[in-house]
Structure 1
Amino acid sequence: MVSQAFFRICMVHSLVALTCGALMMFYSDEVFIISHGKAHASKLLGSTPHDQLLIRTSDSFSGLLLSAVGFLLFMVAFVKETEFHSFFAKGCVILHVSMAIWRAYFERKVEVLGHDWLRLVVGDIAFGASWVLFLVCSWREKYDYSKICFVVWKLM
């Protein structure tokens, strides 16, 4: 049961990462216009040819990295060891929380990206929450449910 949940979460995250990576590599201009609007997209794409080249190169490498993460998630989805599942899920929670903190403290200060940071933080929290739910389900299966409720009640 838990390994199926791990497989499904990894596949969904892999599909999202691969799709976003491909869009960043091949259709970055269109994605900027759709997500930020035409006025902000022109600022994000740079004003000089040199800036535009640097930004497109950076977006392509970022998309390539995101695609590599998608392929990694695809490969990890087929691991059957339950201890690794827990370890990997904890790492993903830390990663998504770190990204949310980064966006909240730094990206919101960037003038052009200032209106998008909240939407991106909510997305990071949602992705992190999927791993937290997986961890809760795996703990529930590993330990008796009544013991978990007792411990949570004691902590409150």
Structure 2
Amino acid sequence: MSSAFPVICILHSLIAMTSGALMMFRMKEIYTFTHGNETATILMGSTPQDQLLIRTSDSFSGLLLFAIGWLIFMVSFIKDGEFQYFFAKGCTLLHVFMAIWRVNFERRVEVLAWDWLRA
């Protein structure tokens, strides 16, 4: 059993729960910080219905991330070394796939936002 496993899990759970809480309550500020003011305005929607739909989607995504953080926090207290190895391999694979997907998705959003600005 590795003593680093609980530390890494608790660190990841804190990051996930903090990010989830920010996504639920401060998404406009995150959009502004990551994409700039003009793109953030576009990403938040143009009609009240679009804005409500986007805010609801962001809130549910944040809630899911918060729940995943809570689950990882609970997993950090499991003492079985075989389970820790299995869980660590799965998390590593998940991180790689999410990074690839996120980079690809963000690139497409940026291209779409610049196309909207030119129109």
The normalised TM-score by structure 2 is: 0.87
CA contact (8 A) 1:22 1:63 kept: yes
TM superposition shift of 1:33: 1.5
Aligned length: 113
Partner of 1:6: 5
Displacement, 1:54? 0.6
Distance 2:99 2:50 in 1: 27
The answer to whether structure 1 residue 75 and structure 2 residue 74 are counterparts is yes
Query: Residue in 1 aligned with 2:61?
Result: 62
- Supply the distance in 1 between the matched residues of 2:45 and 2:88 (Cα, whole angstroms): 38
Which runs of no fewer than 5 residues in structure 2 stay unpaired? Answer: 114-119
When the two chains are superposed, the root-mean-square deviation of aligned CA atoms in Å is 1.8
Larger deviation, residues 84-93 vs 22-31: 22-31
Structure number with bigger Rg: 1
Structure 1: distance between partners of 2:35 and 2:15: 19
1:42 match: 41
For residue 103 of structure 1, report the CA deviation from its aligned partner: 2.6
**C-alpha deviation, 1:26, in angstroms:** 1.0
- Letter of the aligned partner of 1:25 in structure 2? M
Give the TM-score normalised by the residue count of structure 1. 0.67
| Correspondence 1:32 to 2:31 | yes
Q: For 2:102 and 2:49, how far apart are their aligned partners in 1?
A: 27
Distance 2:91 2:13 in 1: 13
Once the two structures are TM-superposed, the CA of residue 34 in structure 1 deviates from its matched residue by 2.0
Q: CA deviation at 1:39?
A: 1.2
**Aligned positions of 1:1-156 closer than 5 A:** 2=2, 4-111=3-110
Higher relative contact order (CA 8 A, sep 6+): 2
Deviation string 1:82-107 (CA, Å, 9 cap, x unpaired) is: 00010000100110111122134444
Q: Deviations over 1:16-49 (max 9, x none)?
A: 0000000010111122222222111111111111
Q: Percent identity of the aligned residues?
A: 64
Moved over 4 A (4+): none
Give the CA deviation at 1:112.
Answer: 5.5
Structure 1 unmatched ranges of 5 or more: 115-156
